[in-house]
Structure 1
Amino acid sequence: MYKIILNPFAGKGKAFKCVRSIEKYFEKFNMLYEMVLTDCGRQAIDFAHEAVIQGVENIIAAGGDGTINEVVNGIMKSGYPENVNLGVIPIGGGNDFAKNLDLPHKLRDIIQIIKEHHVQLVDIGQIEDYYFINTLGVGFDAQVAISYTKNKWLNGFPGYMYAVMKALIRKDSYYVTVTINGETFTKDALFVTVGNGICCGGRFHLTPDAKIDDEEFDFCIIDKLSRRKIFK
């Protein structure tokens, strides 16, 4: 049994257009499934949590990175269930986490991989009661992510670039204290990114050497910069 949690608003509505195709391929491959569509933020967390409680072992996140993140949080907040598999159908804007998995581009091929039960163990980060599977941003990086989410008309890389320009108007910096491998230091930073995956924002490879299964996180810390240096 597969529980598909689909965010129809992902990719500025692109995901909704994929609903029938996803259903068609699951039916073609004789895969028993139930699909639920979210209609507000954070609802995917509740859907994933409910699925775990109901004993569903294969939960599919269909949408963008935000949808995947919510499904991961719903699963992890259900008591670290080792028998639950997370599947990904990347139909959002940036689809950054999917880039780590080297998934094919066609829906049919992605669902074929899910059917064949290709399982890969990946690392998950935690801050208090929040979990992340790809990257975690603090500062400018986070401002861009928030602005992109609120933007209703630009999708993918152009949308991220628009969000970058909006964040540059503020250009706040933050005094951060970071401890890595026992070494602590304080910096006036534009942003800090903790990377489990290689990129964020569609094309920004802030932690290009990161691996999702090496039990380590990579850090990208950018000092406070002038606007001129940022554009360079």
Structure 2
Amino acid sequence: MTKKRAAICLILHKKSCTRPEVKAAVKHVRQSVDFEVYIPWRGKDLRRFVRQAIADGAQRIVAGGGDGTLNAVVNAMLRKGKAPKASLGILPLGTANDFARGAGIAAGDLISALELACSGKPTSIDIGSMNGQYFINVASGGFGAEITATTPQDMKKALGGAAYSIMGFVKAFQLQPYKGRLILADGAVKEGSMLVMAVGNNRFAGGGYDVAPKACLTDGLLDIAVVSGERPERLGDLTEELKDPTSPKNKHLFYRQLPSFTIETDRPLHVNLDGEPIQSRRLEFRACPKALSVVLGTASA
């Protein structure tokens, strides 16, 4: 006789499952909530398990890991772009945990985070799409993505989010702006150069940097922020523009909220998609309104 699948399934990243605090959280929450634990060793194992769990009637999938694990679970759940019957919970176990930060989920209290992930009420939120691949948080490009892609894993582990800024200072002396163009849905084209780009469904990336301060998970829009390749005379000029990103007076920061757009660059652009590195010269973005039900923290509910 086939064992009936639990209504809640926790996907644990293989590097997190042996951590004492993770084991303690799982043991504590299991005293009051019944859930199944699965530890995939390969990406295709994760995708297969998530899809089979949903097919077998699982009502909630909990992603236990960093933003990369969250991205993999989201892409597995949104197969062929169809909204799944199951909702998503989040147990933040990564280095940066940027989506959890923006969603009001405390990474420092794993017991509370797991209780929320298993028992909290879900909210229908937007999901971003880039070249057919989904992202729940932020797609960052250019200089920032190069930092993330080239930061050694040992440094990330030892320094946490600070590793990104340290590598940033190292890279800053070798910056080469990308040249390209932004194509809007109506065909309008804006040409220029850039050092850093962020497309946010949520606000934070790179270990807590507020790259899309106006982003909202339920507005049906993606926030694009581009720092021009033309360097300001004073660093303070850019700092001031970041305080009011949507001001029409800004000269070095381009910020818009759009349902869809395309970016083309003169050379392959490094893009960090929820922690996953990608390179491409043409990036087609669109917002997928209310595509997934996700348990958020109280700050974002």
Q: TM-score, normalised by structure 1?
A: 0.84
Alignment map for 1:98-177 (pairs within 5 Å): 98-104=100-106, 105-148=108-151, 150-155=152-157, 156-168=160-172, 170-177=174-181
CA distance in 1, matches of 2:50, 2:170: 33
Residue 35 of structure 1 pairs with residue 41 of structure 2:
no
Cα offsets for 1:133-153 (capped at 9, x unmatched): 1111222222122124x4223
CA offset digits 1:118-164 (Å, max 9, x no partner):
1111110112330001111222222122124x422333222212332
| Greater fraction of residues in helix | 1
- Provide closer, same or farther for how the CA distance between residues 194 and 220 of structure 1 changes in structure 2, counting only shifts above 3 A: same
1:184 alignment counterpart:
189
171-180 or 220-229, which moves further after superposition?
Answer: 220-229
The change in CA–CA distance for 1:203 and 1:81 in structure 2 (over 3 A counts) is closer
AA matched with 1:175: K
Amino acid in the other structure paired with 2:87: N
Q: CA RMSD in A?
A: 2.8
Unaligned runs of 5+ in 1: none
Relative to structure 1, the CA distance from residue 43 to residue 225 in structure 2 (aligned partners, 3 Å threshold; closer, same or farther) is: farther
Shift of 1:208: 0.8
Q: Is the 8 A contact 1:194 1:220 kept in 2?
A: yes
Answering whether residue 201 of structure 2 is matched by residue 199 of structure 1, we say no
Name 2:68's counterpart in structure 1.
66
Offset of residue 63 of structure 1: 1.0
Question: Partner of 1:153: helix, strand, or coil?
Answer: helix
Q: Is the 8 A contact 2:17 2:23 kept in 1?
A: no
Read off the aligned partner of 1:7 and give its amino acid letter: H
Map of 1:56 onto structure 2? 58
Q: CA deviation at 1:94?
A: 1.0
Q: For residue 257 of structure 2, what is the aligned residue in structure 1?
A: none
**Structure 1 position 7 matched with structure 2 position 13:** yes
2: CA distance, partners of 1:185 / 1:135: 22
Rate the CA distance shift 1:191–1:152 in 2: closer, same or farther, 3 A. same
CA 68–90 in structure 1, closer or farther in 2 if over 3 Å, else same: same
The equivalent residue for 2:29 is 26
Structure 2 residue runs of 5 or longer lacking an equivalent are 1-6, 240-301
Cα distance in 1 for partners of 2:198, 2:26 equals 36
Distance, in Å, in 2 between the alignment partners of 1:40 and 1:152 is 21
Report the residue type matching 2:130 in the other structure: I
CA gap 1:53/1:169 in 2 versus in 1, 3 angstroms: farther
Read off the aligned partner of 1:162 and give its amino acid letter.
Answer: I
Shift in CA distance, 158/219, structure 1 to aligned 2, threshold 3 Å: same
Which digits, 9 at most, give the CA deviation of each residue in 1:64-118, with x for residues without a partner?
1111111111111255233110100112111111122212442222223234331
**Change over 3 Å in CA distance of 1:3–1:202 after alignment to 2:** same
Structure 1 consecutive aligned stretches of length 4 or more whose deviation exceeds 6 Å: 227-232
Separation (CA, whole Å) in 2 of partners of 1:75 and 1:38 = 15
The number of equivalent residue pairs is: 227
5 Å-filtered alignment, 1:86-97, equals: 86-97=88-99
Structure index of larger Rg: 2
Counterpart amino acid of residue 65 in structure 1: D
Q: Which amino acid aligns with 1:38?
A: P
TM superposition shift of 1:27: 1.4
Tell me which amino acid in the other structure corresponds to 1:192.
Answer: M
